[in-house]
Amino acid sequence: MFIFDISNPLTLILMLAATVLLIFLAQEVKKSYIGAIILFVYLVVLIMHVAQISTLSEEYRYMITTLSRCIAIDFVFVLISFFSYLWVDDIEAKATGKKSIDNSLDWFWKKI
């Protein structure tokens, strides 16, 4: 059974670096859809890991701990990408003069 093991330190560092670079790119070009793509990818990976753990056969029960760690890491990446999407959306809205999708975090962005 193939598992995209993101609890491996090297994979985790590479995914974090790619996420940070894509967030920086989205911030520089002021396009929030890049952040939305990152969020969508991490949600798909989370769904994939949950489906794998729910359909795990008896011979692969030893992988439950690895999949559980992957799911926890997926939630962290979803949280990071969600906040980065909101942040870049706010930057894009200010640059284009449009209304942001959600202004409920204005107090948070002013403190950063």
Q: How far is Cα 6 from Cα 107, in angstroms, rounded to an integer?
A: 33
Type of residue at 84:
S
Q: What is the dihedral of CA 48, 4, 25, 109, to 10 degrees?
A: 60
Q: What is the pLDDT of residue 100?
A: 61
The model carries a pTM of 0.83
Digit-coded pLDDT (tens) for 75-110: 999 999 999 998 888 888 888 887 666 666 666 667
Digit-coded pLDDT (tens) for 24-60: 999 999 888 999 999 999 999 999 999 999 988 888 8
Cβ neighbours around 38 below 10 Å, total:
23
CA dihedral sign of residues 44, 50, 53, 54: negative
